[in-house]
Amino acid sequence: MRKGIADLHRPPHISQAANGRYLGAIASVEDTTSPDELTARPCQPAKRNGRGYDLAVVGAGSAGFSAAITAAERGAQVALIGGGTIGGTCVNIGCVPSKTLVRAMEAVHQAAAAKRFAGMSAAARVDDWDAVMRQKDDLVSSLRQAKYADLLPAYNRISYRQGKARGGTV
């Protein structure tokens, strides 16, 4: 984990006004989040190009990762600032856990629906809810690791900063 001041400079091709509109005004990063085992992983520091970062991406969810990777692949030095658990909503508390539980309960529902058909019956029930939740948590952890945390070392143009970005001037 790296924490501290993100030293940001406006790229010369972006006007002061546009910079304010599109990039926002991000001056510093304050660490407010207790690191978990993933966000605490050391990430490859960005190689500085002598004029600071070209772009600050606030939020290390799916959109933030996509933006940071796209910019890095086009040559930008990127500060990716994550204020919550790395991976954001979808992998941690949104799509992945919700669809895992929805699919599990669908199996129970579908079995119960079999008796609508003549000559058929099927049964499925939840034997161990804790096991269902553990499997869901394992999936979340493995996808968070594979799709987010493990990607960062591959991009030496992206410097991941754990902490909450707050407004300022660039």
Q: Which residues bind ligand FAD (CB under 6 A)?
A: 58-64, 81-84, 88-90, 94-95, 98-99, 164-165
Least distance CB 108 / ligand FAD (angstroms): 20
Pick 112 or 147: Cβ nearer ligand FAD? 147
Pick 3 or 10: Cβ nearer ligand FAD? 3
Pick 56 or 76: Cβ nearer ligand FAD? 56
| Distance in angstroms (rounded) separating the CA atoms of residues 29 and 7 | 10
Pick 76 or 160: Cβ nearer ligand FAD? 160
Least distance CB 82 / ligand FAD (angstroms): 5
Helix (H) or strand (E) holding 93: none
Pair type for strands 26-30 and 55-58? unpaired
Pick 10 or 147: Cβ nearer ligand FAD? 147
Q: Are 123 and 110 in contact (CB under 8 A)?
A: no
Least distance CB 98 / ligand FAD (angstroms): 4
Helix (H) or strand (E) holding 112: helix 95-113
Taking CA 23 as the corner, what is the angle to CA 153 and CA 46, rounded to the nearest 5 degrees?
Answer: 20
| Distance in angstroms (rounded) separating the CA atoms of residues 43 and 32 | 18
Least distance CB 122 / ligand FAD (angstroms): 27
Least distance CB 19 / ligand FAD (angstroms): 18
| Distance in angstroms (rounded) separating the CA atoms of residues 62 and 76 | 19
